[in-house]
Amino acid sequence: MCGIVGYIGSRNATPILIEGLKRLEYRGYDSAGIAIINKKKSLKIFKEVGKIIELERSLPTPAETFGKTGIAHTRWATHGEPNLKNAHPHADENKKIAVVHNGIIENYKKLRKKLETKGYNFSSDTDSEVLAHLIEYFNRTEKNLTLAVQKALKLVEGTFGIAVINEENPNQIVAARKGSPLILGIGNNEFFIASDVAAIIIHTKKVIYLQDGEMVTVDKDKFELTTLENQAVKAKISEVDWQVSAIEKGNYDYFMLKEIFEQPISVENAFRGRLNEKLSTCRLGGLSMSGEELRKIKKIQIIACGTSWHAALIGEYLIENLARVSVEVEYASEYRYRNPIIPADTLVFVISQSGETADTLAALREAQARGAKVFGLTNTIGSTIARESDGGVYIHAGAEIGVASTKAFTSQVTVLTLLAVILGRMKDLSPTFGAGFIKELKQIPQKIQQILDNDEKIKQIAETIKDSTNALYLGRGINYPVALEGALKLKEISYIHAEGYPAAEMKHGPIALIDENMPVIAIALKDAIYDKIISNLNEVKARNGRIITIATEGDEKIKEISESVIYIPETIHSLHPLLSVIPLQMLAYHVANLRGLDVDQPRNLAKSVTVE
Ligand code: M6R
């Protein structure tokens, strides 16, 4: 999705803005631009369609782009094609005020019409351009950018994170947010604006997360935080706990690969300090509910999108199985439009890696509006979902840059497993189960490592399916959502059409697709329904389907029906997803890489989907 960077200080803004935009590339974009106020106190705008590197190459000499105040943007098209005129920054007609905008101005057509009747000419098809003209309109009378921005935003319906500069006041940036994240970074006699900490973390770890309805006026040596109604706000400075190395690829070709290989550590971080060996249970401090309150819960709703939704499905299976509490999993994008029922004693969880997904945030607010207590499971400290939830748990996966979520998924599943055990131990689960679970969970990081060590073999299997046009992923029980996740990974980054199915459901339709060209990737682990899934796979075999199995180490029999087998170490049933998903992530990665695709920035996708 769109990204914003801004700089004001004593250094040259241009390289800082370009570097910041590169750090935001992972979010997905189709054009980019910067606006700076140069030495002659004149506003200059440079834009390019495509990658940041194209923008960088198109810039004139450093002397011409030198300026100490600037704003920059990566655009992910919503209104208007991804072309030069629609790229940000947008300016007023006199090219004095420049604006970058994330979000959507819902009433932009009405505003545009009004401005056009006043004689304003528009040069793009975007909703964002109205902001530049509106701000200029109010600035004519106010002669104060902060007040002009406030007046303009009063007329706006929709969501925004914006940064604005005006050549008439070259030492100032005004930024504001409603529904779209924005951060002020505080450096040494310099300030940064960003929609994501990744853009500025190499310069400063001291940040202020703007809340919805807040704005900041940043001058060279000071800043003032207010509401959009101009009420003073007390600044709360936070320290970002990421290391710069978290947002660098290191020796890996892609962030996704790095993040897949980080999973032994990220899973351990998700359970570290959360195991109570003495009482053979787990703890999640952020839940902030007493045992009595937790025991009273009759129902749990889990709301999420995409990969987080798949984690939620695993959570459903685990919580129902281990804690005997009924769970309902909801698509966040559907939730508020379908009049959901939240009975008394229901606990609502929203899961979001980014903590900024617009659909999930809207669902959180809807559940709260209906009187529910909502807990957030997020990876991003200070994110909107983390701040607006009534309590919550961080998954501590570290920065996830690859658009295709991998380590966040296993960390989400880890935390959901802990939750299931906590609730289960309050009910029927025995201390023996609790102790056995903890012992096995502690082995998981090392077992993930064992699967990662098999990378070469998985790459060879990827070679055999890389030219396929379709793929079917099968699993049963707790491994069915893993099959969904495997299929999502493949389609996201390799553009091969893939579907996940419960293995036994296949005969009710998808079996029609099976032929000698169709790879069927099946999770067939040694558990209570092993024989059942083998029967399902025999149905595939009988129709000449190509079967690739994810099987339990030592299962020799499975070779009889499989074209290839990827073995994973044995573990207890509840922990299967933490292992079975790893080879599916690796397979998707290698297929996409072998097809020569950009694994980290797949077409049309954005890392954090901040529009509805
Ligand atoms: O940040 P979130 O977990 O809320 O994101 C939800 C989805 O947009 C996300 O999981 C998406 O499906 C990923 N691209 C999956 O790899």
In this prediction, residue 246 carries a pLDDT of 75
Q: Is 472 in the same domain as 571?
A: yes
Condensed to tens digits (0 to 9), the pLDDT of residues 415-453 reads 999 999 999 999 889 999 999 999 999 999 999 999 999
| 296, part of any domain | yes
CB 550 within 8 A of CB 583: yes
| 140, part of any domain | yes
Domain boundary among 449, 472, 498: 449
Helix, strand, or coil (residue 335): helix
The verdict on the CB of residue 609 being under 6 Å from ligand 1 is yes
Q: Write out the two tokens for 498.
A: 């893939």
CB 131 within 8 A of CB 145: no
Q: Is 394 in the same domain as 473?
A: no
Condensed to tens digits (0 to 9), the pLDDT of residues 532-559 reads 999 999 999 989 899 999 999 999 999 9
Q: Is 161 in the same domain as 262?
A: no
Q: Is 399 in the same domain as 468?
A: no
| 117, part of any domain | yes
- Rounded to the nearest 10°, the torsion over CA 331, 336, 338, 342 is 90
Q: Is 222 in the same domain as 109?
A: yes
CB 583 within 8 A of CB 567: no
CB 525 within 8 A of CB 580: yes
pLDDT band at 253 (very low <50, low <70, confident <90, very high): very high
Mean residue pLDDT of the chain comes to: 93
Sheet of 346-352: strands edge to edge?
326-331, 299-304, 346-352, 373-378, 391-394
Q: Is 427 in the same domain as 513?
A: no
The residues, any chain, with a CB within 8 Å of residue 61's CB and separated by 6 or more, are: none
Distance between CA atoms of residues 436 and 423, nearest Å? 16
Mean pLDDT of 107-123: 94
Q: Does the pLDDT at position 607 exceed 80?
A: no
- Per DSSP, the residues of 124-173 read SS-STHHHHHHHHHHHHHH--HHHHHHHHHHT--B-EEEEEEETTSTTEE
Q: Is 556 in the same domain as 527?
A: yes
- Residue 305 designated active-site: no
The closest-lying atom of ligand 1 relative to the alpha carbon of residue 403 is: 14
Condensed to tens digits (0 to 9), the pLDDT of residues 285-302 reads 888 788 888 888 999 999
Condensed to tens digits (0 to 9), the pLDDT of residues 592-602 reads 999 999 998 88
Can you give the residue range of the structural domain that contains 302?
A: 250-449
| 612, part of any domain | no
Q: In the chain, what is the greatest distance between 2 CA atoms, to the nearest angstrom?
A: 81
CB 261 within 8 A of CB 212: no
Q: Is 72 in the same domain as 152?
A: yes
Distance between CA atoms of residues 226 and 152, nearest Å? 16
Percent of the chain with pLDDT over 70: 100
Distance between CA atoms of residues 175 and 178, nearest Å? 11
Helix, strand, or coil (residue 46): strand
The verdict on the CB of residue 38 being under 6 Å from ligand 1 is no
CB 449 within 8 A of CB 285: no
In this prediction, residue 603 carries a pLDDT of 84
Q: How many domains does the chain have?
A: 3
Residue type at 249 in one-letter notation: K
H helices present in 4-93, as ranges:
13-23, 52-58, 62-65
pLDDT band at 606 (very low <50, low <70, confident <90, very high): confident
Q: Is 418 in the same domain as 365?
A: yes
In this prediction, residue 12 carries a pLDDT of 96
Q: How far is the CA of 554 from the centre of ligand 1 (A)?
A: 35
Sheet of 470-475: strands edge to edge?
497-502, 470-475, 519-524, 546-552, 564-568
| 214, part of any domain | yes
Q: Write out the two tokens for 166.
A: 């005006």
Strand-pairing partners, residue 227, are 214
CB 291 within 8 A of CB 283: no
Query: If we measure between CA atoms, which residue out of 69, 71, 38 comes closest to residue 164?
Result: 71
| 415, part of any domain | yes
Q: Does the pLDDT at position 586 exceed 80?
A: yes
Percent of the chain with pLDDT over 90: 79
Mean pLDDT of 104-131: 94
CB 504 within 8 A of CB 511: no
CB 506 within 8 A of CB 536: yes
Could you give the angle at the alpha carbon of 180 between the alpha carbons of 176 and 183, nearest 5°? 60
- CATH number at 296 reads 3.40.50.10490
Q: Does the pLDDT at position 336 exceed 90?
A: no
In this prediction, residue 338 carries a pLDDT of 87
Q: Does the pLDDT at position 487 exceed 80?
A: yes
The closest-lying atom of ligand 1 relative to the alpha carbon of residue 354 is: 1
pLDDT band at 511 (very low <50, low <70, confident <90, very high): confident
Q: Does the pLDDT at position 64 exceed 90?
A: no
The closest-lying atom of ligand 1 relative to the alpha carbon of residue 378 is: 3
Q: How far is the CA of 309 from the centre of ligand 1 (A)?
A: 8
Provide the b/e sequence for 24-45 (b: ≥16 CB within 10 Å). Answer: bbbbbbbbbbbbbbbeeeebbb
Q: Is 127 in the same domain as 33?
A: yes
CB 492 within 8 A of CB 403: yes
Distance between CA atoms of residues 414 and 269, nearest Å? 10
How far does CA 124 lie from the centroid of its chain?
29
Q: Is 391 in the same domain as 289?
A: yes
pLDDT band at 366 (very low <50, low <70, confident <90, very high): very high
What CA–CA distances, in Å, run from 206 to 189, 239, 398?
Answer: 13, 5, 18
233 in the Ramachandran plot: left (φ > 0), alpha (ψ -120 to 50) or beta? beta
pTM for the structure as a whole: 0.82
Q: Does the pLDDT at position 1 exceed 80?
A: no
Residue type at 173 in one-letter notation: I
The verdict on the CB of residue 164 being under 6 Å from ligand 1 is no
CB 578 within 8 A of CB 414: yes
Q: Is 207 in the same domain as 285?
A: no
Element spanning 394, H or E: strand 391-394
| 609, part of any domain | no
Residue 572: other Cβ atoms inside 10 A: 15
Q: How far is the CA of 402 from the centre of ligand 1 (A)?
A: 11
CB 32 within 8 A of CB 73: yes
Q: Does the pLDDT at position 247 exceed 80?
A: no
CB 609 within 8 A of CB 385: no
The verdict on the CB of residue 378 being under 6 Å from ligand 1 is no
Domain boundary among 431, 449, 467: 449
How far does CA 542 lie from the centroid of its chain?
41
- CATH number at 10 reads 3.60.20.10
| 73, part of any domain | yes
Mean pLDDT of 171-194: 95
Mean pLDDT of 486-508: 94
Residue 236: other Cβ atoms inside 10 A: 11
Q: How far is the CA of 199 from the centre of ligand 1 (A)?
A: 20
Condensed to tens digits (0 to 9), the pLDDT of residues 213-245 reads 999 999 989 999 999 999 999 999 998 877 777
Among 313, 354, 484, name the best residue to mutate to test ligand 1's pocket (greatest count of ligand atoms within 8 A of Cβ): 354
How far does CA 604 lie from the centroid of its chain?
14
Among 255, 305, 491, name the best residue to mutate to test ligand 1's pocket (greatest count of ligand atoms within 8 A of Cβ): 305
Domain boundary among 214, 229, 247: 247
